[in-house]
């Protein structure tokens, strides 16, 4: 039985023309060989498995070939080429910088540069993963790299160019290798499969190419694994089973169901997917990529951006014809928001379910019933009063009978609106009445009605009253502990204020969040003052003043507390700090906390 060699080694390119997906770089290197214009140092950088070390070896063999052909390729027949192919060449040295990264290793390498080659013209030193060298090793390497002997050429290879010192980069010719495209990987896998006598489905090779993420070596390793699992017949079903990849058909089905607003069927499909061991976040990311591909398939200009097989391109185009563009845009926004919130979520499955429900409701028709789950349309009608007032009205002459008709219209518009007419369905009727009222009151000499800016900063409740501030009646709550007179500090006041806000949050989340940012203060014990940043918040707190007063007296055990509210002056408003800013402020004010965070290597999550 012959010794088994993995495909990544067995089909490793031996010439520039056999290198896949790097035509621009290989052409440049061949032209350098043909012209004899060789640099003393090269840097090959790029992602893993794209041919950096392979090209370095081919280049090293070619520049030492005694009889290169007209295309700049090695002859593979001379003594230098045969020595390289058989692994006995003394002119080419490879060093793995990941395990030989000390100053001593570099000094030993520098000593070998002084010895000229016995056969061929150059001594080539290939240093792989050069970014792993220590700073001291880089510094020891600098002088020789800048002015090496005439017979020495350095070829450095790395996956992380940003970790290399700028002084090293400035002494090298830099070649950036590209990621392998899916079509290039598929074509190469087809050639390997034909040579190995392995049957395959093109859709299965497409899954392997996508899983490889731009690396040909990874693609060949996955190909060997799939061939072993499927016993020489690589099918789509066997590949997704072997690699534990979610079937693309699930994404097509979810989008089709979302277009039909079938939330229940999507929930059943999600449950089946999770029961097979797939993560909800993985599903959302895959579905977002799928929707992006559908969006690209809508336009022939963006269709080449899909790195999929021809069969899948046709499938994407078919679904793109059924999906409106706004649906695709909103779906991507919803799923992107889910991806951002997924890591912090304590109930990840619920977050995924809500995301899919929102996607399934995008194309649903608006429903005014409270249980429909749709967003309310009521807010739009609240601003129609301001919009109507801002629009210029044509000047009309009111004479005779028309003056009486206008007066009658004005009297009707001044009548109070019945309670049932304040619902969203009658907002158009109210707007028409206001429109007629404004038109009737417009004098012949009027040019444009003035906009009442006093309503800016008021609440929605005041906007319904056409900008007139609403008088808020203070709620009266009896103080039951007037005999208590316990002392309390500013810190005690802040603690109880936050606790009160947490309890309010169950009934009024918005007010509680705004009140949490306030810091009440003791003016003259036991009097407490609360500063509001705007009129809206001040009005809302005034409505709850009695209950706020009763709560503070109860939990601070002092029945003599007096609570007052007022609007803060501009210089009294403090910016709201983020958790990161609060931590930085705490570190500046307390050196002990800063040292503790540094010693324990703590960070804010």
Average pLDDT over residues 380-399: 46
- 554 pLDDT more than 70: yes
Q: Is 176 helix (H, G, I), strand (E, B) or coil?
A: strand
pLDDT of residue 336: 92
3-state secondary structure 459-519: CHHHHCCCCCCCCCCCCCCCCCCCCCECCCCHHHHHHHHHHHHHHHCCCCHHHHHHHHCCC
| Helices 236-243 and 202-212, packing angle to 10 deg | 30
What's the angle, vertex CA 150, arms to CA 149 and CA 154, rounded to 5?
A: 70
Tell me which residue has tokens 């989340």: 509
- 442 pLDDT more than 60: no
pLDDT of residue 269: 92
Helix (H) or strand (E) holding 521, with range, is strand 521-522
Contact 89, 122 (CB under 8 A): no
Distances (CA, A) of 337 to 6, 116, 183: 42, 62, 31
Contact 67, 40 (CB under 8 A): no
Distances (CA, A) of 271 to 253, 264, 276, 495: 14, 11, 9, 44
Question: If you count DSSP H runs as helices and E runs as strands, how many of each does the chain have, helices first?
Answer: 28, 10
pLDDT of residue 116: 83
DSSP letters spanning 559-588: TT-EEEEEEPPGGGPPPPPPHHHHHHHHHH
pLDDT of residue 492: 86
| Helices 23-35 and 52-63, packing angle to 10 deg | 20
pLDDT band at residue 391, thresholds of 50, 70 and 90? Answer: low
Burial class of residue 203, CB neighbours in 10 A (0-12, 13-18, 19+): middle
Contact 482, 559 (CB under 8 A): yes
More confident residue, 443 or 226: 226
CB atoms near residue 165 (< 10 Å): 15
Average pLDDT over residues 157-185: 88
The residues pairing with 234 across neighbouring beta strands, listed in sequence order, are 200
Average pLDDT over residues 61-71: 84
Return mean pLDDT, the chain: 78
pLDDT of residue 354: 93
Dist CA 217 CA 214 (whole Å) = 9
Write the CB contacts of 443 (distance below 8 Å, at least 6 apart in sequence). Answer: none
- 41-45 vs 173-176, strand pairing mode: parallel
Dist CA 414 CA 433 (whole Å) = 9
- 369 pLDDT more than 60: no
Sign of the torsion formed by the C-alpha atoms of 501, 503, 505 and 508 = negative
Please state the φ and ψ torsions of residue 41, each to the nearest 5 degrees. -150, 135
Contact 106, 144 (CB under 8 A): no
Query: What's the length of the chain?
Result: 605
The closest alpha carbon to 141, from 133, 149, 151, belongs to: 133
DSSP state of 522: E
Please state the φ and ψ torsions of residue 559, each to the nearest 5 degrees. -80, 0
CB atoms near residue 432 (< 10 Å): 13
Sign of the torsion formed by the C-alpha atoms of 28, 32, 34 and 35 = positive
DSSP state of 298: T
Write the CB contacts of 259 (distance below 8 Å, at least 6 apart in sequence). Answer: 322, 323, 327, 363
- 194 pLDDT more than 70: yes
Percentage of residues of the chain with pLDDT beyond 70: 80
Dist CA 258 CA 228 (whole Å) = 38
Instruction: Give the model confidence (pLDDT) of 109-153 as tens digits.
Output: 888 888 888 777 888 899 888 888 888 888 888 888 888 888 889
Dist CA 267 CA 273 (whole Å) = 10
Please state the φ and ψ torsions of residue 169, each to the nearest 5 degrees. -60, -40
Q: Is 405 helix (H, G, I), strand (E, B) or coil?
A: helix
Domains annotated on the chain, with CATH: 7-176 (3.40.50.300), 182-243 (1.10.8.60), 248-360 (1.20.272.10), 400-413+423-442 (no CATH)
- 493 pLDDT more than 80: yes
From 29-43, 416-430, 524-538, the region with the lowest mean pLDDT = 416-430
From 187-201, 260-274, 453-467, the region with the lowest mean pLDDT = 453-467
501: which 2 tokens? 């806000």
pLDDT of residue 355: 93
53: which 2 tokens? 């070390």
CB atoms near residue 129 (< 10 Å): 20
Dist CA 404 CA 410 (whole Å) = 10
Dist CA 306 CA 182 (whole Å) = 9
End-to-end CA distance of the chain: 56
pLDDT of residue 577: 67
The closest alpha carbon to 565, from 535, 529, 539, belongs to: 529
- 506 pLDDT more than 80: no
ω before 526 within 30° of 0 (cis)? yes
- 454 pLDDT more than 60: no
């Amino acid at each position: 039985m012959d010794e088994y060699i993995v495909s990544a080694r067995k089909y490793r390119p031996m010439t520039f023309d056999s290198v896949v997906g790097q035509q621009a770089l290989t052409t440049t290197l061949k032209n350098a060989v043909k012209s004899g214009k060789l640099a003393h140092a090269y840097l090959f950088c790029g992602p893993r498995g794209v041919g950096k070390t392979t090209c370095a070896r081919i280049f090293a063999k070619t520049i030492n070939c005694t009889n290169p052909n007209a295309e700049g390729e090695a002859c593979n027949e001379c003594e230098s080429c045969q020595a390289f192919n058989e692994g006995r060449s003394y002119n080419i040295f490879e060093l793995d910088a990941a395990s030989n990264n000390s100053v001593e290793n570099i000094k030993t390498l520098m000593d070998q540069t002084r010895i000229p080659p016995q056969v061929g013209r150059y001594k080539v030193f290939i240093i792989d993963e050069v970014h792993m060298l220590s700073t001291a090793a880089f510094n020891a390497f600098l002088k020789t790299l800048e002015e090496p002997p005439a017979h020495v050429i350095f070829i450095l290879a790395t996956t992380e160019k940003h970790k290399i010192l700028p002084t090293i980069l400035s002494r090298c010719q830099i070649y950036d290798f590209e990621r392998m495209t899916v079509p290039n990987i598929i074509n190469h896998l087809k050639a390997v499969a034909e040579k190995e006598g392995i049957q395959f489905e093109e859709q299965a090779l497409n899954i392997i190419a996508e899983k490889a993420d731009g690396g040909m070596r990874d693609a060949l390793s996955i190909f060997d694994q799939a061939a072993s699992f499927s016993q020489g017949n690589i099918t789509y079903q066997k590949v997704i089973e072997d690699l534990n990849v979610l079937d693309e058909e699930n994404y097509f089905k979810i989008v089709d169901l979302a277009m039909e607003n079938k939330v229940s069927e999507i929930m059943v499909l999600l449950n089946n997917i999770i029961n097979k061991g797939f993560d909800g976040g993985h599903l959302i990311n895959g579905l977002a990529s799928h929707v992006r591909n559908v969006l690209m398939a809508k336009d022939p200009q963006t269709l080449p951006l899909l790195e999929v097989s021809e069969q899948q391109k046709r499938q994407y185009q078919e679904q793109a014809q059924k999906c409106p563009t706004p649906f695709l845009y909103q779906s991507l926004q919803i799923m992107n928001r889910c991806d951002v919130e997924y890591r912090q979520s304590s109930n990840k499955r619920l977050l995924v379910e809500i995301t899919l429900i929102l996607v399934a409701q995008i194309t649903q028709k608006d429903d005014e019933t409270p249980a429909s789950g749709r967003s309310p349309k009521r807010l739009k009608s609240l601003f129609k009063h301001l919009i109507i007032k801002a629009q210029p009205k044509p000047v009309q002459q009111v004479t005779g009978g028309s003056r009486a008709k206008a007066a009658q219209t004005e009297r009707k518009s001044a009548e109070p609106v019945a309670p049932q007419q304040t619902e969203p369905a009658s907002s158009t009727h109210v707007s028409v009445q206001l429109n007629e009222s404004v038109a009737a009151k417009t004098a012949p000499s009027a040019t444009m009605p003035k906009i009442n800016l006093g309503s800016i900063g008021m609440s929605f409740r005041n906007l319904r009253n056409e900008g007139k501030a609403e008088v808020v009646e203070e709620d009266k709550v009896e103080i039951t502990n007037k005999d208590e007179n316990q002392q309390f500090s500013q810190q005690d006041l802040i603690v109880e204020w936050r606790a009160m806000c947490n309890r309010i949050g169950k009934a009024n989340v918005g007010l509680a969040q705004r009140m949490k940012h306030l810091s009440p203060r003791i003016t003259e014990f036991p009097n407490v003052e609360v500063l509001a940043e705007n009129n809206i918040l001040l009005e809302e707190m005034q409505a709850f003043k009695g209950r706020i007063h009763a709560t503070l007296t109860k939990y601070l055990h002092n029945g003599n507390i007096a609570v007052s509210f007022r609007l803060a002056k501009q210089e009294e408003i403090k910016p709201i700090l983020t958790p990161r800013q609060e931590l930085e402020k705490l570190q500046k004010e307390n050196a002990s906390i800063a040292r503790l965070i540094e010693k324990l290597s703590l960070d804010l999550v």
